[in-house]
Structure 1
């Protein structure tokens, strides 16, 4: 693997984790939203990652990661009886998202650490490249 591919691989990891953090932020921002029907209620979203392979093949064909898509959680929405709420349906129920804040905090910490790990990989590769260049002096 070329030294420059390392930067591409680390950058793809940072980009993927940044997108993951955006989804976590969206889930957390919508955690307290309310709706009068199941169809209009926000559903927690999770990223689906896919390995990117080197088209040339070689020893190490995996050269990065990308987000293949976003899936909505299949967890049930929270149905709450609140007949006095302005968003209540004709039966007096409101619907809340299926966002689990503990899970989202864990996802946020995991994404942040994964991002930082990719930064460390890029930094180490940079230091190795500088050391290699200095050998020629």
Structure 2
């Protein structure tokens, strides 16, 4: 694995985790959205990350020929769990019984997901900085 490949891997991790944080922020921002363009409450979105290289490929290839890959966003899926029902007969979106269908977004779950994405982002920054420091030390040896 070359020096630039290490930087590319960390960079792909930074990009993927930043995108994941953006989607989590969108979920939190829409926690009270009871009506979207399709007439339903907002549905929680989740980011699916995949490896650019599979584990199987790594095992089949000779380790010398293996090209490391980073991570990429493969898709964004909507959480199909049930909407929450809240009794509020004065709400414009209330049904005949006075219940409003609220988004299936849980603020605690989103907070934990955000912390996880932030920690992964920090880990990628640390790996990037370590690679950079190793390159600087290698250049100092060459003087």
Q: TM-score, normalised by structure 1?
A: 0.89
Find the aligned partners of 2:106 and 2:21 in 1 and give their Cα distance: 15
User: Residue by residue, what CA displacement relative to the aligned partner does 1:16-43 show, whole Å, maximum 9, x if unpaired?
Assistant: 000100011001001122239x952101
* Greater strand proportion: 1
User: Residue by residue, what CA displacement relative to the aligned partner does 1:40-70 show, whole Å, maximum 9, x if unpaired?
Assistant: 2101111000101299x65244410000001
Note if 1:109 corresponds to 2:101: no
Contact kept, 8 Å, 2:34 with 2:102, in 1: the verdict is: yes
Equivalenced residues, count: 136
Partner of 1:127: 133
Gaps of 5+ in 1: none
Contact kept, 8 Å, 2:34 with 2:40, in 1: the verdict is: no
**Which of 76, 80, 87 is the equivalent residue of 2:86?**
80
Partner of 1:99: 105
Contact kept, 8 Å, 1:49 with 1:66, in 2: the verdict is: yes
**1:5 Cα offset (Å):** 0.4
Gaps of 5+ in 2: none
Q: RMSD of aligned C-alpha atoms?
A: 2.3
**1:89 Cα offset (Å):** 3.2
Partner of 1:7: 7
Partner of 1:89: 95
Matches within 5 A, 1:53-68: 53=53, 59=63, 60-68=66-74
**1:80 Cα offset (Å):** 2.3
Partner of 1:31: 31
**Which of 65, 75, 95 is the equivalent residue of 1:69?**
75
Find the aligned partners of 2:75 and 2:122 in 1 and give their Cα distance: 23
Contact kept, 8 Å, 1:16 with 1:67, in 2: the verdict is: yes
- Report the 3-state secondary structure (helix = DSSP H, G, I; strand = E; otherwise coil) of the residue aligned with 1:32: coil
- Report the 3-state secondary structure (helix = DSSP H, G, I; strand = E; otherwise coil) of the residue aligned with 1:47: strand
